[in-house]
Amino acid sequence: MQTALTPLDFARRARSLYADREAVVDGNLRWTYAEFFDRCDRWSGALSQLGVAQGDRVAYIAPNTHAQLEAFYAVPQLGAVLVPLNYRLLASDWAYMVNHSGSRVLCVHADYLDLVDTVRHEMPTVEHFVALEGGGKDWLDYEALLSEGSPEYIKPDIREGDLLTINYTSGTTARPKGVMITHRNAWMNAIGTLVHHHMTSAERYLWTLPMFHANGWTFVWIVTAVGGTHVCLRKVDAAAVFDNARRERITMLCAAPTVLIGLANAPQDMRSGVPPGVHIMTAGAPPAATTIERVEEEIGWTITQVYGLTETAPFITVCEPRAEHASLDAAGRARIKARQGVELITSGELRVIDEHGNDVPRDGGTVGEIVVRGNVVMEGYFRDPEATARAFHGGWFHSGDAAVVHPDGYAEIRDRMKDIIISGGENISSIEVEGVLLRHPAVLEVAVVGLPHATWGESPQAFVVLKPGMSIDEAEVRRFARERLAGFKVPRGVTVLAELPKTATGKIQKFVLRGGSAAVAPQ
């Protein structure tokens, strides 16, 4: 009597229970669950008519639109594999990933049609180019195909070990790798998230997180599982978030720390009238405690930090609140919430190990690497057995994240292993230094990296973005840091930038800062 564990089962249930409930809002467009799934079925039928069969790959380049959301149901229903691509990359990157995945169909939003046209000749595996909006010569029209598609497509037998998506990593130092996520991986992540964060059919979820990023942290399926409403947001900024929160009565969203910073520093008049109690899940990079404190105390929204990677579908820990945390003051709770936390019930086993493979002590100070194994860990890297073997050596997936474990068992990331600054033999957590500098009244954003130093090997260098209308004196900033940090952790220099280099999901690209014009730390 066993059935496959697949997030498509959430769609089956939603069709039955929530047919008349509002499912999707995209600007002026609104659909019930019955209407939404009729569209998904018709697109499945249209893809089938285009020749897409079980195991084939279908790639997308699109922001958070209803068409992108429909892909997460219409493509897997055929037994095909969805390949959602980062829409902020270069056209040459898209060509590589489309070719590497062997995608037969490429669906593109209107904003990116011209760029894709420049590399169409470099994508020989693509048989059909579909314009999700707009279009023109040599582009198939999405809505026309969908309207002609038959909802009575042939439904294949889907096993939980089948591939659901291929999600490409950032590829900052090498070619991006295709992370193979199975139906079981995604189902486990969705259920684990719901175990730790209860949601109901009253949920109105704002799509601030890119759907392409680790499948929107599986909220493309989680919101449907509870019969909530997906509110699409095509471009993210603080004004749009607050405006949607008011107009659409938003109850939840997911956001990288860079989005949290934007919300915390938004003008007071922009925040006026927003509903209290909106729940935010944050991940992608460790948020500073001061950012968490400001969002919760000044806006009245609640933050839960989760941690994971694209390779873990993506969540493996949650900073689960405990009864004893309620007695802490706001700053104390924020410090706890800045930790990555404990394993999700469904995610599997997490360890923090030293260079010999032994667990580090639970002392909150000894740094090791996070390794994991369990039901959310990817099948491997698509067409890359060597990289898969490296990632899984010793029978565990190696995250590359450096962390400590506190006495209560809560893990806290101190850095990427490659980003730990070693100065005069001392390990410096860039995240710790950044957290201190973010408390400076003039600092909006900050990144700290290690740069070569003739005496100490490396020394910390701070790159800061200032709040509008503010200025800083480098010596004063260093004094500010020295009052709150050990001397060897104080940045040797402070560089003001207009903006920090980031990925599409808000992660700061520290390799760019390390290799930029400030290539050597001040002596």
Do both 382 and 428 map to the same domain? no
- Measured CA to CA, the distance from residue 40 to residue 38 in angstroms comes to 5
Q: Is 457 left (phi over 0), alpha (psi -120 to 50) or beta?
A: left
Residue 15 placed within a domain: no
Do both 412 and 438 map to the same domain? no
- Measured CA to CA, the distance from residue 449 to residue 430 in angstroms comes to 6
Do both 58 and 177 map to the same domain? yes
Do both 241 and 348 map to the same domain? yes
Residue 451 placed within a domain: yes
Tens of pLDDT, residue by residue over 6-26, are 999 999 999 999 999 999 999
* Sign of the four-CA dihedral 335, 340, 343, 347: positive
Do both 300 and 437 map to the same domain? no
Using the predicted structure, report yes or no on whether residue 99 has a pLDDT greater than 80: yes
Residue 384 placed within a domain: yes
CB 260 within 8 A of CB 280: yes
Residue 190 placed within a domain: no
**For residue 168, what are the β-bridge partners?**
178
SS (H, E, C) 300-353: CCEEEEEEECHHHCCEEEECCCCHHHHHCCHHHHHHHHCCCEEECCCCCEEEEE
Tens of pLDDT, residue by residue over 187-202, are 999 999 999 999 999 9
The CATH number of residue 81's host domain is: 3.40.50.12780
Residue 90 corresponds to which tokens in the numbers above? 């270069």
For residue 443, the number of C-alpha atoms closer than 13 Å in the C-beta half-sphere is 29
Domain end marker among 416, 436, 468:
416
Banded model confidence at residue 393, pLDDT cuts 50, 70, 90: very high
Do both 287 and 407 map to the same domain? yes
Do both 408 and 474 map to the same domain? no
Residue 205 placed within a domain: no
Residue 257 placed within a domain: yes
CB atoms within 10 A of CB 296: 18
The CA-atom distances, in angstroms, between 487 and each of 419, 423, 491 are: 19, 11, 9
Please name the helix (run of DSSP H) or strand (run of DSSP E) that holds residue 9, with its range, or none.
helix 8-17
CB 521 within 8 A of CB 453: yes
Banded model confidence at residue 240, pLDDT cuts 50, 70, 90: very high
Banded model confidence at residue 422, pLDDT cuts 50, 70, 90: confident
Domain end marker among 396, 416, 436:
416
* Closest CA relative to residue 404, chosen from 353, 442, 345: 353
Angle, CA of 231, 445 and 257, to the nearest 5°? 35
Peptide bond into 76 cis (omega under 30): no
Report pTM. Answer: 0.88
* Closest CA relative to residue 135, chosen from 154, 161, 153, 109: 109
Residue 352 corresponds to which tokens in the numbers above? 């923090």
Tens of pLDDT, residue by residue over 311-326, are 999 999 999 999 999 9
Residue ranges with strand state E in 158-299: 163-168, 178-182, 204-207, 229-232, 252-255, 279-282
| Mean pLDDT of the chain, nearest integer | 93
Residue 47 corresponds to which tokens in the numbers above? 């893809």
Residue 134 placed within a domain: yes
- Measured CA to CA, the distance from residue 203 to residue 219 in angstroms comes to 12
**Identity of residue 333:** R
Please name the helix (run of DSSP H) or strand (run of DSSP E) that holds residue 416, with its range, or none.
strand 411-416
Total number of domains constituting the chain: 3
Do both 445 and 392 map to the same domain? no
Do both 391 and 247 map to the same domain? yes
The CATH number of residue 433's host domain is: 3.30.300.30
Residue 17 placed within a domain: no
Collect all residues with Cβ–Cβ distance below 8 Å to 431 and sequence separation of at least 6: 286, 413, 414, 415
Range of the domain at 241: 236-416
Do both 377 and 505 map to the same domain? no
Do both 359 and 484 map to the same domain? no
Using the predicted structure, report yes or no on whether residue 519 has a pLDDT greater than 80: no
Using the predicted structure, report yes or no on whether residue 245 has a pLDDT greater than 90: yes
Domain end marker among 394, 416, 438:
416
Do both 259 and 316 map to the same domain? yes
- Measured CA to CA, the distance from residue 131 to residue 92 in angstroms comes to 19
